[in-house]
Amino acid sequence: MRLHRVAGLVMVVTGLGLSVTGAAPGQDRPEPDTTKVLVAGSPPSKGPTDARVNVVAFIDFQCPSCREFAQWMSDLPADEAQAIRIIIRHKPLLFHTWAREAATVSICVDSQDHDAFWKLHDFLFAQQNELTAENVKPRLLQFVTEELHIDRRAVNACLESHGYEDTLARDHQLVEQFNIRETPTVFVNGRRYVGLKSAEDLKLAIDAALGAARQVSEPASTPPK
């Protein structure tokens, strides 16, 4: 059974594992400031800062479902993609052997070049099945040197000085604040989506947010007298 009520921003999908909640468990609607909290600071982001839709994703680079989510985002129609800002938050799962290492390298890369972060992001998901706890760091540093053309010494210095810790701590604080237990956990304009199973589910969530944003930004027309 699938029930989508886009105008009311309610989506219930049974049999697919998709659940929709507000900013915190038990809420039907997101708090107005949820998005502001989730995007605060300087997390990796792509898209216009004044986008109508902010998609905040808590990800783990070793998570197959996160890889699928990244692919769905990249496959969005160009007109929708231009209205969206994607923001990444890190939640490396403890049972994944190289996820935290990947997160630390990506944070240090982002500190040097924001565009380079997204290239590394794509590389990590493209190579997910080939990476191991033993080879992930040398493979990523090789990619930094050969493909990203940023200062490898600066990235190494960041890793050696634990320059990534503040970012991981900030993201972990959000994980606890919003009781996030799965990856990917996605917030679309402050509304939480857990268990997205298809590109269609993601598009429905984004379409709902776009529709709501248009209603807010476009004044209702006055009926003729």
Going by their DSSP bridges, the two strands 2-5 and 84-90 should be labelled as unpaired
CATH of the domain spanning 2-213: 3.40.30.10
Other Cβ atoms closer than 10 A to 178: 20
* CA–CA distance, 140 with 41 (Å, rounded to integer): 25
The chain-wide mean pLDDT, for the chain, equals 85
**Phi then psi for 21, rounded to 5 degrees?**
-135, 180
Domain ranges in the chain are 2-213
**Mean pLDDT along residues 34-55:** 94
Percentage of residues of the chain with pLDDT beyond 90:
72
pLDDT tens track for 76-94: 888 888 899 999 999 999 9
pTM across the whole model: 0.83
Residue 28 reports pLDDT greater than 70: no
What is the per-residue pLDDT for 217?
67
